[in-house]
Structure 1
Amino acid sequence: MSSTIKKVEITYNSINASNTFTNGDIVSGQVSVEAAKDCQISSFYIKFKGKADVFWTETYGQNTYSYHAKDKYFSVRQYFIRDPNSKDDQKSLIAHQSGETYSNVVPPGIHVYPFSFQLPLQNIPSTFKGADGKIVYLLEAVLSRSMKMDSKESTMINFVEKGDLNPVPGLMEPQHETMDKKMKLFTSGTVAMDVNLEKSGFFQGEGLKVKAFIKNDSSREIKPKYCIYRKHSFFARGRRRVHTKDLIKEVGRPIPPKASENVTQVIAIPQDVEPSILNCSIIKVEHRLRVSINIKDI
């Protein structure tokens, strides 16, 4: 900041205990400007925008390649002070409650400029930050003066998409997978597994019920193993970058040799697990279930 403009600060009003916003919510607050002496402002506005950004590099031999992609969801401005020579088509001049506009000459002291934006109602992805990309919703204030560098300040809000599983095809439909494996080495026989889910879309805090029919025709005791893992995918220039991480691991009760059983395992989904993102063209966040068989050692 310059010696004349000592501080530009953005504060917004929380609307719930988790300090999150969702589709259609109002984001309101104020921009505070502290001036050390009289100054003339050419332009002063606050911008609200949502965007996704992906970037990573890959090295092959002595060559390094960069992969970058952007996705823009919205960008709106509200002006406190507008440059009369501006050709910006997004003019939205904010007035005092008295109906008068803000003066472009600011005296010494702290001055407060209120703002209010509404988040889009349409389907946009939740806030996200990963190894090679992010989705951000940002408030940015820009104060411009003649022959001076712009004074800027920004702050991010945490946006969580409204939970609705119905618009996504297949999330409410039953899922079914089978596995048939012949044992090798010191174990003879076969193991077959038939796994069923009532649906594949779940909310935080919900129980994921896994039903399985397991046929153990081997000579060893086996145990079903369950793992929920996270998969982050980033896309740019026709390439894909993937990161996975196991989140929950559980082991079911043992099934003896030469036995067949119907088993049910309910896995509690944590309240704080990040939401899946399936509506962004360059970032995808998925949560998947892996069911496997553990064979008892000799």
Structure 2
Amino acid sequence: MGKLNTFMIQLQNQNAIFYPGQPVHGQVFVDLNADMKMREIRLRFQGNANVHWTESHETGTGDDRRTETVTYSAHEQYFDITAALYGKTLGHGEKLPSGQHNFPFQFMLPPTLPSSFEHQYGQVRYLLKATIDKPWKFDHHTKLPFTVVSLLDLNAIPEAPRPMQNQVAKTLCCLCCESGPITGVLRVDKSGYVPGEAIYLQGEIQNLSNTECSVEVKLNLNILFHATSKTRSIPQEVTKLVLDRSNPGETQSLSGKRIVIPPVAPSFLAGCTIIDIRYHLELHVNPSSVSKRLVVPVDIIIGSIPLRSSFHSIMQPQPAIAPHDVNINVVGQGPGAFPSAPELPPPSYAECVFGKTDMHDEDDNEHTKGQMSYAPAYPYYNFS
């Protein structure tokens, strides 16, 4: 058994959810069963965005043809600060005595930061990393990611309260036979929503073809990753609603159907210039006899603060939604209040619907401990 029993970072806010401009309070906890010689204990505060992917390209012709792997990447740094907590530079000795030790810290987040976001091709990530720097031996590391939620107020977006509609028609052809058209109409009474809110669907499918069709309504996310020399667009399904099949000659109404928005990052990822996210509601009508489907898209905006017209429908947060009780103070307001909507009941917070991400990176080794699986948490409202 080694000298080090426990080495961990503890935050005062155990949910590790913060807003830009807030202080991050915590402590680094070290438990030793014997004196340990070290240069210092330091803590690194990092906030950055990264984009990275590879593609295979064929080059040359004939016998000189070969496959080349090209890497595309970009980096954006918001802060990177390292502070010594113990060591000779602070007037301490070269050894940390056995026993339990707490090293408190406080860090003020910058006032403008993008929301946390995780994807295999890019991330906006905020991280604390503590290190025990040992002379002539392997250093010990421990990591703790935390979530930053940047507020996107739908009331400040002119398009958010506006209704949206789209209509698409398709005529099916099978060999020399042509059937009547399939027409899809999709309407929503506004463009702006928040996680936990239901999108109430309107519209219809008119099937004048001779083919039965399956029908789905999907909430999709389109992510743009901007590398230094190329942009890559990645679609991702957030959630979907499977509806009754559309029979030949029938008109099917969408009225009364709804999709509840799960916990996801706010639209646009404001403050980040290398990752952009947009949401689309899509009606999919899939004919059973041919491969081409009819898609009716409608753009929507997902924010952090709902439209004021929705305030009356929001109840107090339910503890079951979030893994822990959260008490977040927004600068300039009381506990849990939003700067632009202090009368709004505070939301709960729930982990992103896409699940956890592996936090290991190329600098980690067997001496790196801490939270290695992480999902950002986003505001989630309890609508009546």
Q: Which moved more, 1:244-253 or 1:52-61?
A: 244-253
> Paired residue for 2:167, among 164, 168, 178?
178
Give the 3 Å change call, closer, same or farther, for CA 172–104 of structure 1 in structure 2. Answer: farther
The answer to whether structure 1 residue 48 and structure 2 residue 48 are counterparts is no
CA contact (8 A) 1:187 1:219 kept: no
Q: In structure 1, give the amino acid aligned to 2:126.
A: Y
Distance 1:10 1:296 in 2: 55
The answer to whether structure 1 residue 164 and structure 2 residue 161 are counterparts is no
Distance 2:14 2:141 in 1: 25
SS of 1:170 mapped into structure 2:
coil
> Paired residue for 1:116, among 106, 129, 146?
106
CA contact (8 A) 2:130 2:141 kept: yes
Which consecutive residues of structure 2, in runs of 5 or more, have no partner in the other structure? 59-66, 290-384
Give the 3 Å change call, closer, same or farther, for CA 211–218 of structure 1 in structure 2. Answer: same
Map of 1:137 onto structure 2: 126
What whole-Å deviation, never above 9, does each CA across 1:121-143 have from its counterpart, x for those lacking one?
A: 324122x2212222211112244
Task: Count how many residue pairs are aligned between Structure 1 and Structure 2.
Answer: 275
Following TM superposition, by how much is the alpha carbon of 1:207 offset from its aligned partner in structure 2, in angstroms?
A: 0.9
With the length of structure 2 as denominator, give the TM-score of the two structures: 0.59
Q: Between Structure 1 and Structure 2, whose CA radius of gyration is higher?
A: 1
> Paired residue for 2:282, among 287, 290, 296?
290
> Paired residue for 1:64, among 69, 72, 87?
69
Aligned alpha-carbon RMSD (Å): 3.6
> Paired residue for 1:244, among 222, 235, 247?
235
Map of 2:353 onto structure 1: none
Counting helix residues as a fraction of each chain, which structure ranks higher?
2
With the length of structure 1 as denominator, give the TM-score of the two structures: 0.73
Following TM superposition, by how much is the alpha carbon of 1:155 offset from its aligned partner in structure 2, in angstroms?
A: 1.6
Following TM superposition, by how much is the alpha carbon of 1:237 offset from its aligned partner in structure 2, in angstroms?
A: 2.2
Distance 1:177 1:231 in 2: 18
Distance 1:133 1:216 in 2: 41
Distance 1:34 1:241 in 2: 46
Map of 1:37 onto structure 2: 35
Map of 1:201 onto structure 2: 192
Following TM superposition, by how much is the alpha carbon of 1:177 offset from its aligned partner in structure 2, in angstroms?
A: 1.8
CA contact (8 A) 2:129 2:144 kept: yes
Percent identity of equivalent pairs: 26
Give the 3 Å change call, closer, same or farther, for CA 148–253 of structure 1 in structure 2. Answer: closer
SS of 2:192 mapped into structure 1:
coil
Map of 2:9 onto structure 1: 10
Give the 3 Å change call, closer, same or farther, for CA 111–72 of structure 1 in structure 2. Answer: same
Following TM superposition, by how much is the alpha carbon of 1:31 offset from its aligned partner in structure 2, in angstroms?
A: 1.0
Distance 1:150 1:296 in 2: 61
